[in-house]
Amino acid sequence: MSLLIVEPLEADVMQWLSERHAVEYAPELAASPAELRDALHQVQALIVPPGVAVDAALLRAAPRLRVVGRMSGGGENIDLEACRAARVEVVRSLTATAAAEAEFAVGALLALLRRVPVQSSDGMLVGRELGCSTIGLIGLSPAARQLGQLLPAFGTRVVGYDPSLHQSDPLWRQWGIEPLPLRELMELSDGVSVQLAYFARYRGLLGERVLGFAKPGMVIVSSSHSALFDDIALADALNGGRVLAAWLDSLEPGLLEPGRALYGAPGLQITPRLAGTTRESRTRAAWGVARRIDELLAAPPEPAADFRVSAPADLPDRGSEQRRWR
């Protein structure tokens, strides 16, 4: 078998792949890690949903695996180091969901600013307009580029921060986003949209030291992994009213259980990865992943090692051929 597909695909994409490769479609394996590993011995390419972890155990069960594809969700449970060590390429369509995520962020910001009231100078509780707001973007992802184009159409001031990008980088100006230090962004923004790619070093980045500087009445929308937030600090900000509302589209399991900090927190809204999941984005992602997998399977596999023939004087005493690994 060349390709094992565990995530549902568009029918025309499935047919296109089936015409080119030996394909098995088995979405039921997503719920059974042991059965999935048993099925991988002869598999060269694998497409898996976000709930399936691509880790060392899975890779050990797939000695012929060359490529792993994922159409949706983040890469939080993909062990990239283990994939590199196993010479397995990870294929994701990073731009396919950008438009959907940006539209979701705009809609969520509009809803929260209007629906969660603040007190006006005459004492009335009223909503706010996106066009009169400053919106901070945390994470310069493809979705942020779309937001940098959409938000100014409302009259919004758009500021941004990315921990991996210096404020002098020309990309900020190219994308129409004003770069700021994170503290200043929090102090100025009426709303914040978080679309920062998650890495372990960013866990808890948005904690007490950051949320404590939030502009009173701020609303937050996040399509990123919830581990970017310190849940205790976010709960304190919501319970204290400094952050009026937070809309999280990707939540770690168990964070809303009784006894956890966010349980019953006011102004908290949760959705199950809706931001990037649209009919159009899944079609774009499916074709992007499918075409790249087809290219990789059509190409000859890279050799696992380089060999050179040694001169007699170079041979070790035991007379075996010397081997040089990459």
Phi, psi of 136 (to 5 degrees): -100, 130
The pLDDT of residue 40 is 96
Tokens linked to 5: 């597909």
**Statement: residue 213 has pLDDT above 70:** yes
| pLDDT tens per residue across span 230-282 | 999 999 999 999 999 999 998 888 999 999 999 999 999 999 889 998 999 99
Residue 179 and residue 138: Cα distance in Å, rounded?
10
Residue listed under structure tokens 């509009």: 110
3-state SS, residue 243: strand
Phi, psi of 169 (to 5 degrees): -65, 135
DSSP state of 229: B
Residue 283 and residue 261: Cα distance in Å, rounded?
38
Pairing assessment for the beta strands 125-126 and 118-119 based on DSSP bridges? antiparallel
The pLDDT of residue 326 is 35
| pLDDT tens per residue across span 271-296 | 988 999 899 999 999 999 999 999 99
The whole-number average pLDDT for the span 18-30 is: 95
Residues 289, 172, 99: CA angle, nearest 5 degrees: 35
Residue 140 and residue 164: Cα distance in Å, rounded?
9
Residue 249 and residue 73: Cα distance in Å, rounded?
11
Say what angle helices 98-115 and 279-298 make with each other, to 10 degrees: 150
**Statement: residue 306 has pLDDT above 50:** no
Fold of 98-270: Rossmann fold (3.40.50)
Q: Are 241 and 267 in contact (CB under 8 A)?
A: no
Residue 237 and residue 220: Cα distance in Å, rounded?
11
**CATH no., domain 3-94+278-298:** 3.40.50.720
The whole-number average pLDDT for the span 296-318 is: 54
304 band by pLDDT with thresholds 50, 70 and 90: low
The pLDDT of residue 1 is 64
| pLDDT tens per residue across span 183-195 | 999 999 999 999 9
3-state SS, residue 76: coil
Domain range list for the chain = 3-94+278-298, 98-270
Return the amino acid letter for 1.
Answer: M
The pLDDT of residue 302 is 66
Please, is 76 exposed, middle or buried when counting C-beta atoms within 10 Å of its C-beta (0-12, 13-18, 19+)? Answer: middle
DSSP state of 223: -
Q: Are 172 and 179 in contact (CB under 8 A)?
A: yes
pTM of the model: 0.82
DSSP state of 220: E
| pLDDT tens per residue across span 99-141 | 999 999 999 999 999 999 888 888 899 999 999 999 999 999 9
Residue 127 and residue 40: Cα distance in Å, rounded?
54
What one-character-per-residue DSSP string does 254-317 give? TTTSTTSTTTT-TTEEE-SS-TT--HHHHHHHHHHHHHHHHHHHHSPPPPSSB--PPPGGGS-T
**Statement: residue 317 has pLDDT above 60:** no
Q: Are 148 and 141 in contact (CB under 8 A)?
A: no
The pLDDT of residue 160 is 98
Integer-rounded Cα radius of gyration of the chain = 24
Number of Cα atoms under 13 Å in the Cβ half of residue 221: 26
The pLDDT of residue 309 is 37
Return the amino acid letter for 118.
Answer: V
Residue 42 and residue 304: Cα distance in Å, rounded?
17
The pLDDT of residue 307 is 36
Q: Do domains 3-94+278-298 and 98-270 have the same CATH topology?
A: yes
Provide the mean pLDDT of the chain. Answer: 90
Phi, psi of 104 (to 5 degrees): -60, -45
